[in-house]
Amino acid sequence: MSRVILGLAMVVTLLAFGTTAWILTERLTEPKTVSGEGVVIAPAGIGGPFKLTSDAGKPVTEKVFAGKYALVYFGYSFCPDVCPTGLQTIAAGIDKLGDDSKKVVPVFVSVDPDRDTPDQLAQYVDLFHPNMVGLTGTAEEIKAVAKKFRVYYALHKDKDPENYPVDHSSFTYLMGPDWKIVAVFRHDASPDNIADALKKVL
């Protein structure tokens, strides 16, 4: 009888140890997220690996941002108002961080690859922040990365083959040094909202 009791005790102990280890592992591997004004709940699974082309004309993957936080915005350089407003907000938010601004990379991903060539993007992103990186690619590459970030966009080339408008969602995605989602900012988030959220994780 004593052997049976001892055996049961060992099983219970092992189960308890295993459960504790599982809980600790889950907590350690959970993506770090932040909340605050201007921030919406970041659904798990946003983001992921990608292959695009930088504004310098070089192949780029998410690995180039490893070790830094990235503020990612999807739009197009011919956007008349929404994109400039969003990018100005991102730039101003980063500049409020002082020396910590070096730990954050602003990233602009074009959803209009036909017009947004690397040269076009290089000139465009320089208007907003000296460290901003512009990314473009083929139509299929843009479609793939937009899907991973759950970005909506639609090119209305039927209205004007050259000066066509583009509909697109306008969220800003804060990715961690491991390229996992940390926060999603609404378009009406202020530079202070972005800076405050970043200060919580830097």
Tally of structural domains, the chain: 2
Query: What per-residue confidence (pLDDT) applies to 28?
Result: 35
* Same domain for 25 and 109: no
* Same domain for 115 and 21: no
Structural domain for 2, as ranges: 1-30
* Same domain for 184 and 127: yes
* Same domain for 92 and 130: yes
* Same domain for 125 and 195: yes
* Same domain for 172 and 141: yes
Query: What per-residue confidence (pLDDT) applies to 39?
Result: 85
* Nearest in space to 151 (alpha carbons), one of 168, 173, 126: 168
Query: What per-residue confidence (pLDDT) applies to 175?
Result: 96
pLDDT under 70 in the chain at which residues?
1-35
Query: What per-residue confidence (pLDDT) applies to 136?
Result: 98
List the beta strands (DSSP E) in the chain: 39-40, 51-54, 59-61, 69-75, 104-110, 133-136, 153-155, 166-168, 172-175, 181-185
Report yes or no on whether pTM surpasses 0.85.
Answer: no
